[in-house]
Chains A and B, each alone.
Chain A
Amino acid sequence: MNPIILVQLTENDKRIIIAICLVIILLFVLIGLIGSLIIRTMKWQGKKCDTLVSDVVTNHIVTTPFQLRKYARKKNVRHFIKQAWIPLLIILVGALVYIIHNIVYNNWAYNPFNYDDGFGTLLFIWDFNDPDSYAVVFGIKILAKWPPLINQPHVAVDAIWSYFAVPLVIIGFLWYLVVAQAWLARTIRAWKLSKQVFEKSLEGFNQNSPVQDISNNQMQ
């Protein structure tokens, strides 16, 4: 960047730059907090893997990391299927409602989110394609003012099919994503356990120590 341009910045431009930096920092902090929350949730979900494989591991039925990973994979898949059948069923019901609507109205190009006869009739919709709402700042086109409102929430009888299909699909999809995340968390936990459970450490072991100490270390 040409340093002469920086000298020519006005106070207003500097304030805008500072504000933008603060927004970016806050955005990353927010992303960090959300990411930490997701990681903590995945650690909590991964503990279920311990419950599924603990009996077999503590009774020394599996004796190698490969056996543990194989057994944990089977148990995790079964647990995932037990958790996932409900959200998949909800998604299936929503999809059936959409298909029945298309069959009844013979319109396979129907958009369930439009604001004429779709789920968009229940939402506030602004016209973000309006060119008057944008301004060019430093060669970047940014939003200068709030775009005009083109739809206010209202109930349309023709859109009743989408009132059932869209919420069912969204809820089922989000639920299924959480279940898939739990499965990912248990898989990561199983991989960690296969390393940790069979790990041997010579920390604190001394070859020259008396026999009693050696036997105690072996027991540990």
Chain B
Amino acid sequence: MLGLLKTFGKGILYVIGLPFFLIALVLFAVFGILAFLFQIIKSIIFFFTGQKFFPELPEDKELRLMKEASNPAPKQEEVPQPVNNTPSIITPLEDMSEEKPIISPVKNPVEETVFEEPEEEIIPNKPDDPEDPEGGDHVFERLIEDEPEEIIEEEPIAEEEEEEPTVLETSNDKEDEEDLVEELETYVPRSSNYDSQVDDEDDDTDSGVNIDYDVR
């Protein structure tokens, strides 16, 4: 009942204030049409001067500059990462200050033992330029340069190894040559149980595969 009476009282107030509300609404509607027409004229001028329909307000511009000044980190984080994903690469600046090796000094031991290459110590930090922010990048470039060199060096070693088994070709001993010739002349293939099946003349037998290609 009390709520009903409150609503009844509000209704009386709203009836009294309704004309003022309607006048304000009509004024805003009329002013809105004028503002709309004025904005259309301004937008046409902005269009021909190359500006946006709603150019940036000075306060918005100041806000944007403030945000750009306070958040420069995302641009630094966009530095491309190298292939070796070691944790120290993510923050190269810190590694430069601490003088830590970016790549672990332990290489693949298998490759070393096979190709017997001398270990090259990679120095990631330049002592002359401790504050060089691009020190990490230079190291990465050096590593990239080193890798193809290793690959190139591997090739002649591999060729040398291939040459090693072919001892016969490189030997000049006559005795060895004579032995080879004798071996080739006296070579007789060993007999097997399937020799009877190899002859083409024995086609009468039903056993085995008939490999006679004569057209019947």
A-B complex is real: yes
List CB contacts (< 8 Å) of A62-97 with chain B: 62, 71, 74-75, 77-78, 80-81, 84-85, 88
A30 in the interface, Cβ–Cβ < 8 Å?
yes
A17 at the interface (CB under 8 A from B): no
Could you mark each residue 23-50 of chain B with 1 if its beta carbon is under 8 Å from any beta carbon of chain A, else 0? 0110011001101100100000000000
Q: Is B91 in contact with chain A by the CB < 8 A criterion?
A: no
Q: How far is the CB of B62 from chain A (nearest CB, A)?
A: 5
CB distance from A26 to the nearest CB of B (A): 9
Q: How many CB-defined contacts (below 8 Å) exist between A and B?
A: 77
CB neighbours of A35 from chain B (8 A): 10-11, 13-14, 18
Q: Which of A157-165, A173-181, A199-207 contacts B (4 or more CB under 8 A)?
A: A173-181
| Chain B residue contacts of A84, Cβ below 8 A | 32, 36
Let me know if B8 and A29 touch, CB within 8 A. Answer: yes
- C-alpha gap A108/B14 in the complex (Å): 40
Are A177 and B11 in contact (CB-based, < 8 A)? no
The distance from the CB of B14 to the nearest CB of chain A, in whole angstroms, is 3
**Residue-wise interface mask of B (1-23) relative to A, using a CB-CB cutoff of 8 A (1 in contact, 0 not):** 00010111111111100100000
Q: Contact at B39–A81, with CB atoms within 8 Å? A: yes
| Interface membership of chain A positions 167-188, coded 1 if the CB is closer than 8 angstroms to chain B and 0 otherwise | 0000000001101110110010
Interface residues on A, range: 20 to 34
- Chain B hits for A31, CB < 8 A: 11, 14-15
Check: B147 CB closer than 8 A to any chain A CB.
no
Closest-CB distance, A73 to chain B (whole angstroms):
11
Q: Is the CB of A184 within 8 A of B28?
A: yes
Is A33 an interface residue, CB under 8 A from the partner? yes
Find residues 186-218 in chain A having any chain B CB closer than 8 Å to their own CB: 187
The distance in angstroms between the C-alpha atoms of A114 and B56, with both chains bound, is 50
With both chains docked as a complex, state the minimum distance between the C-beta of A74 and any C-beta of chain B, in angstroms: 6
A residues contacting B by CB (< 8 A) are 25, 27-36, 55-56, 59, 61-62, 71, 74-75, 77-78, 80-81, 84-85, 88, 176-177, 179-181, 183-184, 187
Q: List 6 A-B contacts (CB under 8 A).
A: A29-B7, A32-B9, A33-B7, A88-B36, A177-B29, A184-B24
5 nearest A-B pairs in the assembled complex, by CB-CB distance? A32-B11, A35-B14, A28-B11, A32-B10, A31-B11
